[in-house]
Structure 1
Amino acid sequence: MKIKYSVFLAAILLTNAYCSATEWYVGATRTYTLPSQVRNLVADNDTVYLDGGVYLNDATKWTKKNLKFIGLGTGSNRSILRYSGDISNGKGIFVFESAGISDNPYIENIVFDGAQVSDADGGNGAGIRFQANNITIVNCRFVNCQNGILEGNGSVTTSNVTILNSEFENNGYQLQNDPTHSGYEHHIYIGASTDTLLVQNCYFHHPRGQANSIKTRAQRSYILYNLIDEGTTGYGSWELNIAQGGMNVIMGNIFIQGPAGANHGIIGYDAVTNPLEDFYFVNNTVINQFPGNIKFFNTVPASGINTFKIYNNIFASVPGASNTFFSGNTPASLDSAGNVLSTDYTTFGFTNAATNDYSLTSGATAAIDHGVNAGSTAMAYPLIPVYQYQSHTSALVPRNPSGSSIDIGAYEFEFPSTAGIDPEFLSEEIKVYPNPSTGIFHLDFAQLTGEAGNLEVYDALGKLVLSSTAVNWSSDYQLDLSVSPNGVYLLKVNDGVKLIRKTLVIR
């Protein structure tokens, strides 16, 4: 892979810029008590820290690049941006409106609660409204919003959106005291301005107003190792809506269609208007809890999908349901192998379906050792799950085949519910920008405590692709993986005190 000069230059400029950042602190006992009060004070590359507590009715449009927003609250005292009533800016609580002006924000450990705008402004208020280039969201919560995250700008074509370890609850359009009103806003809506979307280790549940859990028009979407649950009272539509095609890797997720949803469909594929049209649905566990007519897939296009691969998935339903595998059209490019269908998910052999623990017991004989090799995507991304979801507040658990073949579904038998968890996967002592990237990553090591150490990078199959010793920790380390194929990589950093791991994505 060759690095374009503009990408390489941008990485150098980003590296140099982080050296002169200012830190701003916001809180009830601080000089600045609301985030909006530092809006006109921050410069490019600054960091805004929010103390724990509730910041009421404060919405801000940010107009600087490379800003970092980090909530310092924990437990029951998280950093909460809560809005009551319509937001006057017509868009959302945090707004990044202009490409080239408000690019590259990083947002961590903040709760966005109650974002809504008036019907006159479109009725699509968002916790985060993003219309610039590249955003990373880590360990955030979006609740009671018309949209949790709403992304899109017709003039942008190369933005990357990364959403990690976050929770989405009770989002969607809702008239007061009318939970079933259909406005079709969503937990996440990602527009066609996004080149690459990565959603990993997140928890989506209880949508309202026929919201989609994830709706994406991105050119490339990686939906990896998430729990997407409509819940017993959630009134949503699609758990995943591929709105205009693209290259989609959907792997290692648990999808749950609840008993009270609106359209009783789980995966939607609406159109083929993106340049790439490849769909990979591998090693997911898909549960239907609605006792009537349901559809696992609804595929609208009659032609134009180059790849439609469905491998190693568990499809399980409540007894008595009428299960339709495909409604609309069955793709001519359908490639299906290693899947299993159960008409009673309660007897399949899951550990505890009542608590959404869909790991396998020894009774899941239809899944254990029955998977097949799913190969890789047309762009050489390996279709081998390397992690397993446990909780969006915990690290992903490494997945290693325990038998003669990979198991079917999102979990490998003998899933280590308490063992093998490395909490450093969630550590923010290392920050990575941008991620995904085309191979050039900026690493901020400023919070590491050791004087020097080493780093290693492994591909999805566990092969060492890069090793560097005697690394001096700083805030401007550049990692060059530009000669490596597209895919997911594991970064291991040892600072002499602890081992820290991060997931990297090359697109």
Structure 2
Amino acid sequence: MTRRRELLTAAALLPWGAHAGPVLHVGPARAVKSLAAAAQQARDGTLIEVDAGDYMADAAAWPQQDLTLRAVGGRVRLIAAGAHTQGKGLFVTTGRRQRIEGFDFIGATVPDRNGAGIRLEAGSLTLVGCSFRDNENGVLTANDDSIELDVVDCDFGPILPREGKTHNVYVGSIKRLAVTGSYFHHGLHGHLLKSRAALNHILYNRLSDEIGGRASYELEFPNGGVAIVMGNLIMQSSTTENSHVISFGVEGARWPRQRLVLVHNTLVDQKASGGIWLRVTPAQTEVMLANNLLVGSPKLAADGYWTRKANFSADWDEFVRAARDDFRLAPGSPLRGKAQDMGEAEGLRLSASREYRHPHTSVALSGPARHPGAFQT
């Protein structure tokens, strides 16, 4: 079972092989010139190869199963220019096993001010190497406990200035969320990443509101569930709109299991008056905090029923160049080599096997993680 779960988690990191189904080519010089037209022609199992370039006001709904949309020859930039589909966003997806690679979603707005680059309404979706900029929301999902979402090497931010609680990613009450190698930044009012999913794997990402960002939480699981948060740089800006960095379960436990595992992360607080690292309810939540580095003035909660091991407060000068967001431990830091083995949880080894690499990817480590924090090399 452990090996199977490791393989499933790694599957989204791998490129797909040869495609056996129909292929549809889209571009200004092609017979099919728009994504909206492609959405009408595509069948289950279609690979849609889209020539790089700007596609203006080209919104579409995708109900097909086993569908792949792939940018060819560079980036595919979808610029909303006021267009949307179903009053929800640039793309609305409802098919199982869909995959989108190399697309930029820009400027999605809708009349109710809750527009998204992608609205995932049903099915399952994998995003690889996509970016979301100047949207009211980056990705927004429905509440459906059969939905699954995988996000690999994507970029979310900045959020378009709007009234209301817009989020870089807002995941509803779905079955599973996995996010790897992605960058969340420059939020506004809402959260960088908010998930109500039953199972969450948040691995090897950077969630940092950046200078001028005004996000609320950097990471929130409002209905709890099971959350494995490993290998992330999570950084609260000085202009945050909420003193808490990570929040779990504060809107009530929806799922039967409540567990938060926070390991091998580097948590940075830039708030002058000091923030709060972690807020957890209900009291029976199982919490593990291990091998984390804490940079800034807040203290980590000391609830007696939590498992806490090898968490260290670190001064700014412990790192190679923290002023430039280089949070690798300096060669002479006494914190090097102090990570402890935490075994596994939910079928995953709790020792980092990759690390985030800016601007939005992750790379495999050559050996076991030895240092606390998100960065080993």
Q: Judge same fold: TM > 0.5, yes or no.
A: yes
Distance between the aligned counterparts of 1:303 and 1:109, measured in 2? 42
Match 1:112 to one of 101, 105, 110: 105
Contact 1:293–1:324 under 8 Å retained in 2: no
Deviation at 1:380, TM superposition (A): 3.6
Deviation at 1:79, TM superposition (A): 0.7
Structure 1 unpaired stretches of 5+: 2-17, 176-180, 416-507
Distance between the aligned counterparts of 2:222 and 2:331, measured in 1? 38
Deviation at 1:223, TM superposition (A): 0.4
What is the DSSP-based 3-state SS (H/G/I as helix, E as strand, rest coil) of the residue aligned with 1:161?
A: strand
Distance between the aligned counterparts of 2:360 and 2:295, measured in 1? 26
Distance between the aligned counterparts of 1:53 and 1:338, measured in 2? 49
Show the counterpart of 1:257: 236
Show the counterpart of 1:239: 218
What is the DSSP-based 3-state SS (H/G/I as helix, E as strand, rest coil) of the residue aligned with 2:348?
A: coil
Show the counterpart of 2:154: 166
More relative contact order, 1 or 2 (CA 8 Å, 6+ apart): 2
What is the DSSP-based 3-state SS (H/G/I as helix, E as strand, rest coil) of the residue aligned with 1:54?
A: strand
CA displacement 1:331-374 (0-9 Å, x = unmatched): 563111101113x42x2x21122332211112321x21222221
What is the DSSP-based 3-state SS (H/G/I as helix, E as strand, rest coil) of the residue aligned with 1:389?
A: strand
1:147 aligns with 2:137: yes
Distance between the aligned counterparts of 1:288 and 1:86, measured in 2? 38
Q: 1:48 to 1:331 in 2, by over 3 A?
A: farther
Q: How many residues align?
A: 359
Q: Which amino acid aligns with 2:47?
A: T
Contact 1:388–1:399 under 8 Å retained in 2: no
Show the counterpart of 1:485: none
Contact 1:286–1:316 under 8 Å retained in 2: yes
Normalising by structure 1, what TM-score? Answer: 0.67
Show the counterpart of 1:46: 46
Show the counterpart of 1:311: 290
Q: Which amino acid aligns with 1:159?
A: I
Match 1:124 to one of 105, 114, 117: 114
Show the counterpart of 1:96: 93
What is the DSSP-based 3-state SS (H/G/I as helix, E as strand, rest coil) of the residue aligned with 2:77?
A: strand
Show the counterpart of 1:369: 337
Q: Which runs of at least 4 in structure 1 moved beyond 4 Å after TM superposition?
A: 392-395
1:334 aligns with 2:289: no
What is the DSSP-based 3-state SS (H/G/I as helix, E as strand, rest coil) of the residue aligned with 1:38?
A: helix
Distance between the aligned counterparts of 1:332 and 1:93, measured in 2? 47
Deviation at 1:86, TM superposition (A): 5.8
Distance between the aligned counterparts of 1:159 and 1:88, measured in 2? 20
What pairs with 1:5-404 in structure 2 (closer than 5 Å)?
21-74=21-74, 78-85=75-82, 87=84, 89-97=86-94, 102-119=95-112, 123-153=113-143, 156-171=144-159, 174-175=161-162, 181=163, 183-193=164-174, 195-208=175-188, 210-269=189-248, 270=250, 271-299=252-280, 301-305=281-285, 307-317=286-296, 321=297, 323-326=298-301, 333-342=305-314, 344-345=315-316, 347=317, 349-365=318-334, 367-377=335-345, 379-398=346-365, 400-401=367-368
Contact 1:166–1:392 under 8 Å retained in 2: no
What is the DSSP-based 3-state SS (H/G/I as helix, E as strand, rest coil) of the residue aligned with 2:279?
A: strand
CA displacement 1:84-128 (0-9 Å, x = unmatched): 23635211111014xxxx222100000001111112xxx211111
What is the DSSP-based 3-state SS (H/G/I as helix, E as strand, rest coil) of the residue aligned with 1:40?
A: helix
Normalising by structure 2, what TM-score? Answer: 0.90
Deviation at 1:394, TM superposition (A): 4.9
Contact 2:183–2:205 under 8 Å retained in 1: yes
Q: Which amino acid aligns with 2:155?
A: E
Distance between the aligned counterparts of 1:237 and 1:62, measured in 2? 32
Structure whose alpha-carbon radius of gyration is higher: 1
CA displacement 1:194-221 (0-9 Å, x = unmatched): x22110011111112x121111111110
Query: Once the two structures are aligned, what percentage of the paired residues are identical?
Result: 26
Distance between the aligned counterparts of 1:218 and 1:399, measured in 2? 32
Structure 2 unpaired stretches of 5+: 2-17
Contact 2:223–2:255 under 8 Å retained in 1: yes
